[in-house]
Chain A
Amino acid sequence: MIEKGKIDARQFTVLVVMYSLGTSIIAIPSTISTYAQENAWITIILTTLIGLMIVFLLNQVNRINKNKNLFELFEYVFGKWIGKSVTVLFLTFVYIVSGKNLRQIGDFITTQVMVETPIQVIMLIFVLTSLYAIKLGIEVIGRTSEIFFPYAFTSLMLLIIFVAPQADFKNIQPVLVNNIEGAFLTVFPTLGTPYFELVVFLALLPYVNRIGPGRKAFYIGVGIGSFLLFAVTLMSLLVLGPDFSARNVYPTYILGKKISGIQFLERIEILVAIAWFFTIFFKISINFYVLSLGMSHLFQLRSPKVLSTPLAFLILIAGVYLAPNMIAYQNFLAHDLAPLAGTFGIVLPVLLIIVARLRKKNKKKKKRKKRK
């Protein structure tokens, strides 16, 4: 393997939580409320259950050969040339997802926090910070996530606790009476971010020092991330109402603005937003790292660091040229992201498992024939 660094299961859990929360915590409540309305919280529960099944599927892919990362697995299962072609397609997907994450944070900051600043500057700052993380390696990213996780987790929990007194349960009633089909159909676009994207962790799983606890950590990470997503979406529905949550692109930020009660705790939404910046930073860094790792496998380079600088600028370009405007971007999130991510997050792992099993059977048959 090209990367020599190792992370432990706890760091892997934290990385999965950060990845599950990053961008989804901003994007999901609005998208889900748009289509599922007052039943959005039920959609999140269904999505979580399917998300855990996706983790099971990804763990099964890892079982094909626990010592090989995703790019090595492609060549191991599909053969050299098909494997390389699949790697190119997968890296294109990771590249688009990295650009999407960068664009998401850029859009958020330029529309809510720093409205005069050009989006390119915000994206450049984020991508350069991630570039520094890539240069330092996976071990440093893992340790840094441990430092920032308590802050992100606590601020989200405090957000939920402080807005809880304003919750009105009438906002989610009647339960599953109107728009039942909408609640179930919305599961698919919701899976796009983050559950289908979790496939990138197959590239990192072999770097967990003990693979057994690593697989368990995958479940725990997705579980914690999903719980926080559920809690934030539910609070958004209860406090803001389904219609207001749907009409706002960033209802979670508006939720932060609702924190009040104690006099000195006013207008602290930016502190909540900074916590998301950490989660998004880790999401961008993980995607960027997997992209660099895949590139170094593809071109047989000695380290993922080699191509990281040119890739950082390419990700910046992907962020800029992802969508012409916010409406096109929101449409992409609702309609096209899930099919794209599903191709690589579900279809590809299933194909890997089927082809690997067929090959195994063929090998056994050949061995039997030789014995005879």
Chain B
Amino acid sequence: MLKVISLLVAAVIVFKIDYSSVKTGKKRERRVYMAFFAISLGLLMLHILDVQIPYVVHGIGEIYHPIFESFNQRLDQHQSYKMN
């Protein structure tokens, strides 16, 4: 809980300092800024609460493994030691 409160306090401070530079901009800019700030705060909160988010490398692997499988297998034959 302490971690969450610390993060929220830090987020408020960062927002107060940084928002002043966006304040003078258009309404659209402020909206985009708020949306991104909320997304980043939400993701940081999930990280602090130890919520498992899918790892990026797994997602990339899902896309490229089927295409490059034979190349990777051939490359692995030349590996000087086995990583897995």
Contacts and interface: CB of A to CB of B under 8 A. Distances in A.
Interface of A: 33-37, 96, 99, 179, 181-182, 185-186, 188-189, 242-243, 246-247, 299-302, 305-307, 309-311, 313-314, 316-318, 320-324, 327-332, 334-336, 339-340
A305 B47 CA distance: 25
Q: Do most interface residues of chain B lie in helix, strand or loop, or is the interface mixed?
A: helix
A62 B33 CA distance: 31
B27 interface: no
Given A34-B79, A35-B78, A186-B75, 15 more contacts: A179-B78, A181-B74, A247-B81, A299-B29, A306-B21, A309-B18, A311-B40, A313-B40, A321-B54, A323-B56, A328-B55, A328-B57, A331-B83, A332-B60, A336-B64
Interface in B35-84: 36-37, 39-41, 43-44, 47, 53-57, 60-61, 64-65, 67-68, 71-72, 74-75, 77-81, 83-84
Given A188-B71, A306-B33, A307-B32, A314 B39 contact: yes
Contacts of B60: 96, 332, 336, 340
B9 interface: no
A179 B40 CA distance: 47
B14 interface: yes
B75 A189 contact: yes
16 contacts: A179-B78, A185-B75, A186-B75, A188-B71, A247-B80, A301-B29, A302-B25, A306-B29, A307-B33, A317-B44, A320-B47, A323-B57, A331-B84, A332-B60, A336-B57, A339-B64
Q: Do most interface residues of chain A lie in helix, strand or loop, or is the interface mixed?
A: helix
B80 A242 contact: yes
A327 B84 contact: yes
Contact of B80 (A243, A334, A339): A243
Interface residues of B, number: 40
Nearest to A185: B75
